[in-house]
Amino acid sequence: MAACGAAPQQPPQTPDKEPSASKAEGAATKGEEESGPGTKSDAAAPRVLADHERDYKNECAKSADLAPFCDCAWKLFAGAVTLDEMNRDEIPSSKLEVLTKKTGQECGEKMPESMLRDGFMKGCTKDDPALKDYCECFWPEIRASFSLAEIARGQVVGTPKHAQVSKQAGAKCGSKLPEATVKSGFIRGCTGEGGASEKFCECAWKQIRTVMTPVQVQSTPTESPEFKSAQKKIEAGCGALRAAK
C-alpha cells in the first residue's frame, strides 16, 4: 500500500517528434508537385532552431501560466538535442529519458500550482472518484508543509515530514475515506501483486483492521515499522491460508 502523497503531474514530455514536421514534409511534397520537376519549394528548406522553438512552445504551453515552465524546458531541450536530430526527428530514447528527468528537476517548480495539485489528485485518487473528498482534504496539509519546488521535484513521499503530515491528514480527513474503497484496493493488491489467495487476503484484511484504521492502511508506507508490525500479525493469523487453492 503506497502512501498517499503529492505525486506531481509529469511535465509535458519532451517531444521526440516536432509536431509540425510531418506537415512541413507534406507541404514540401505538395510544393514540389505544383512547381513541377526539377524545382524546389521553399517549404523543403531545412528548419532552423527558431522554427523548432516556436513549435515546441506552442505544443508545451497549452495555457499562459505554463509559459515559464516551457521556456525553461526549451532551454534544456535545445542544449541537449542537436538541430540535425530535431530536423531528422531522430532523438535517442536514452537522451529523451535523461532530458525528461532533468526537466522535471530543474523546471518543475515553474509549473503552476493548479497543475501540481491536479497531479497530486490523480496520484492520490488513482482515478477513483470515491477518494476525491479525502484527497481534496489531504492537499492543504501537503501544501502547508512542502514548497511547490519540493512537490514538483518529487521530494515529498518517503520523507519523515510526509509521514508526519500523513498522520495529521489522517486525523483530519479519515472520515472522508470510504472503508470499502480501501479494502477493495488492499484485496486487489494482495491477490494481484502479492499473488496470494483470496481467502488469505480476506483474512489479512480482518487482521490488519484490528490494529490499523482504513486511513492508516491507505497512507502508511509498507516499509514503516507500523506496517511491518501489522504484517507479522497477518502472518500469525492467516499464514496457514497462503497455500490454499
For residues 117 and 28, the model is more confident at 117
User: Among 19-23, 75-79, 177-181, 204-208, where is mean pLDDT lowest?
Assistant: 19-23
In a domain, residue 60? The reply is yes
Instruction: Kindly tell me if the per-residue pLDDT of 108 is higher than 90.
Output: no
Kindly report the CA angle at 132 between 130 and 134, in degrees rounded to 5? 95
Q: Find the mean pLDDT for residues 134-138.
A: 94
CA–CA distance, 168 with 207 (Å, rounded to integer): 24
On whether both 191 and 137 belong to a single domain, the answer is no
Among the candidates 177, 210, 231, a domain finishes at 177
Cβ-based burial of 24 (10 A; exposed 0-12, middle 13-18, buried ≥19): middle
Instruction: Kindly tell me if the per-residue pLDDT of 8 is higher than 50.
Output: no
3 phi, psi to nearest 5 deg: -70, 145
CA–CA distance, 217 with 188 (Å, rounded to integer): 14
CA–CA distance, 65 with 60 (Å, rounded to integer): 11
Q: Find the mean pLDDT for residues 127-138.
A: 92
For residues 109 and 54, the model is more confident at 54
On whether both 193 and 160 belong to a single domain, the answer is no
User: What pLDDT, on a 0 to 100 scale, did the predictor assign at position 192?
Assistant: 86
CA–CA distance, 225 with 98 (Å, rounded to integer): 34
Show the domain range for 89: 1-10+47-177
Provide the grid cell at 219. 497512507
Provide the grid cell at 164. 508526519
On whether both 161 and 75 belong to a single domain, the answer is yes
43 — pLDDT class (breaks 50, 70, 90): low
In a domain, residue 80? The reply is yes
Instruction: Kindly tell me if the per-residue pLDDT of 94 is higher than 60.
Output: yes
Residue range 225-245, pLDDT digits in tens: 888 999 999 999 999 888 655
On whether both 173 and 185 belong to a single domain, the answer is no
62 — pLDDT class (breaks 50, 70, 90): confident
User: What pLDDT, on a 0 to 100 scale, did the predictor assign at position 243?
Assistant: 60
User: What pLDDT, on a 0 to 100 scale, did the predictor assign at position 65?
Assistant: 87
Helices 198-209, 179-191: axis angle to 10 degrees equals 140
CA–CA distance, 110 with 116 (Å, rounded to integer): 10
Percent of the chain with pLDDT over 70: 80
On whether both 169 and 205 belong to a single domain, the answer is no
What's the whole-number average pLDDT of the chain? 81
On whether both 113 and 66 belong to a single domain, the answer is yes
Q: What is the model's pTM?
A: 0.61
DSSP 176: G
Q: Find the mean pLDDT for residues 94-109.
A: 88
